[in-house]
Structure 1
Amino acid sequence: MLKKLHLSFRSIIIAIIDSFYPLFKGIMPLQTYRYAACGGGNQVLNILVYFVSYNFVLKKQVLHLPHIAISPHIAAWLIAFFVTFPIGFYLNFAVVFNGSYLKKRIQLFRYFTVVVICILLNYVFMKLFVEQFNWYPTISFIATNVLVTVFSYLTQRNFSFKQKKIENTI
């Protein structure tokens, strides 16, 4: 039952995304397009969740938890992350990089490793942009996402969901 649901959901997502591919066919390969479409949609959701969390949920106030206080821009980032991480993994695994020869548990471990690095990069860039450069948090979040997304795509494609290279035979 769950596998059928996964295949149906995957097919629907691919059909919707690929229906716009002819517009981009001349400028990028299908996999890059799918990554851009899935990642772009997830990033829009990420930014929206961040904005709403920062401005309306946290009301730009420090989040006080037992034994720790989290600045509002970092707390909003964490909220956005916990919403979009599972969506991003599913889209990468099922839609973008579905041809990997690696075992699923290896893909998951590698994906998690890259995500941990991305978390650290997000934290460092947010701290740097907001607290050192005094940029507005939402602008800092967008700049951070651009930098981390480029890193993430390259590592996910070449490490987490690695595919065998096809040798050119002449």
Structure 2
Amino acid sequence: MTLRNLILQILGFIYPPFSKVMPFQTFRYLACGGGNTLLDIFLYFISYNFILRHETIHFGLFDMGAHIGALFMAMAVTFPTGFLLSKYVVFSESNIRGRVQLFRYFIMVGICIMLNYVFMKIFVEHFNLYPTISKILTTILVVIFSYLTQKKFTFKVKKEQIL
């Protein structure tokens, strides 16, 4: 049994209570994305507290704070796992070439990072919302954007051309 099949079996077992609320693909997206997000937070915590030990990283001409270094360390793991889960578990019916999917996924992740920043700035600094409420609203908006972008662009299914 492949890891993909194991994940799909587990998700299929958990899915029935959610079947009236969302399609299985949306559930797979939320479960895989949620799992990858938890992995990201865990890796960030380990990297920041135990690997970098809150210490600034020195790169000759510039320094990087441990909080940013830990972000990159966690992303080094969760970027590929997020892509692989999306490609093989969530949007496996896509017939776009893998390298095109990877490039599009990279662009989409970059846009999502920028959207997180912009929405947080707007909600906290312009609408004067509490940061936690702002983060919740931002996450909802970015997850919706990410799902639609991945479904319609990154991992879309190209219609076969008839000659």
Tell me the TM-score normalised to structure 1 length.
0.73
- Aligned partner of 1:30 among 24, 30, 47: 24
2:55–2:65 contact (8 Å) kept in structure 1: yes
Aligned identity (percent) is 47
Partner of 2:49: 55
Q: Is residue 2:17 matched to residue 1:13? A: no
CA distance in 1, matches of 2:48, 2:102: 30
In structure 1, runs of 5+ residues without a counterpart are: 1-6, 166-170
Q: What amino acid is aligned across from residue 21 of structure 1 in structure 2?
A: Y
Can you list the C-alpha shifts for 1:38-71, whole angstroms capped at 9, x where unaligned? 1111111101111222222222232222322112
Does residue 90 (structure 1) correspond to residue 90 (structure 2)? The answer is no
Change beyond 3 A, Cα 1:17–1:75: same
* Pair 1:71-2:86 in alignment: no
| CA shift for structure 1 position 149 | 3.5
SS of equivalent residue, structure 1 residue 102: coil
> Shift of residue 120 of structure 1?
4.2
AA at the equivalent of 2:29: Y
TM-score between the two structures when normalised by the length of structure 2: 0.76
Which consecutive unaligned segments of at least 5 residues does structure 2 have? none
Aligned-residue CA RMSD in angstroms? Answer: 3.1
Corresponding pairs, count:
152
My pick for the range that moved more, 74-83 or 107-116, is: 107-116
Aligned to 1:81: 75
Asked if the contact 2:40–2:75 (Cα under 8 Å) also holds between the matched residues in 1, the reply is: yes
Match of 1:116 in 2: 110
Q: 1:56 to 1:77 in 2, by over 3 A?
A: same
Deviations 1:107-153 (A, max 9, x none): 2221122123234456x46x96xxx99x99xx7xx767665444322
User: Structure 2 residue aligned with 1:158, among 152, 155, 158?
Assistant: 152
Go from structure 1 to structure 2 and tell me whether the alpha carbon gap of 1:163 and 1:146 turns closer, same or farther (over 3 Å shift).
Answer: same
